[in-house]
Chains A and B, each alone.
Chain A
């Protein structure tokens, strides 16, 4: 059974870089039918698409974050990573990783498997 697990520091200082990892177990991140994405949720607010990547590209980003976001896939470690630069308090959120189907494989363009999420607080 495929499982996702986010990990990373829970506290990041303003202006620094937030780095998170999503480890995939019970399956391969090199699936030809799925993207792997990051979604975040500020406290008390809704879900926000950060971005996602196929294991060999392309990569999609939320336009509002695009200049600060780097998403990459490490196939040797079966991991997805997220780097968000120049963070501020507005980046405080629970960060989820999730598997996202492509347009050809059911469930198409749906997040069918989620990690439990990891809380990241931006504060000095």
Chain B
């Protein structure tokens, strides 16, 4: 089963906004609003940033926002900060037998 497609890397300057895409199919992202986003700093466990496409867990900054159009979900980070430099992953529910599917990950560099 193929992973969700994410760009390998994105970059931005402090204070700017960036968007990371996550492309799937009608078997996952397209037909279900169960897309989540995670941030992972080196050597650490991933942290949930966004769930159910647009929702932020308690304690997550409102600089992080999510959206979806068709088979592509997106994570937008506004007001980039140095601490945002990390790897970002998306996941989605999938109708296949695996239940959940991961994106390949995107490395964000804050210039």
Contact = CB atoms under 8 A, between A and B. Distances in A.
Interface size of A as a range: 20 to 34
Contacts of A100: 100
Given A107-B52, A110-B52, A63 B36 contact: no
A123 interface: no
A110 B48 contact: yes
Interface size of B as a range: 20 to 34
A115 interface: yes
Contacts, number: 85
Contact of B48 (A52, A111, A115, A116): A111
Interface of B: 1, 3, 32, 34, 36, 38, 40, 45-48, 51-52, 55, 57, 87, 89, 91-93, 97-105
A81 B87 CA distance: 27
B52 A62 contact: no
A74 interface: no
16 contacts: A49-B98, A52-B99, A61-B98, A63-B1, A63-B98, A64-B1, A96-B45, A101-B51, A103-B34, A107-B36, A107-B48, A108-B34, A109-B99, A110-B36, A110-B52, A112-B51
B51 A107 contact: yes
Given A47-B102, A63-B97, A111 B57 contact: no
Interface string A38-74: 0100000011110110000000111110000000000
Nearest to A107: B51
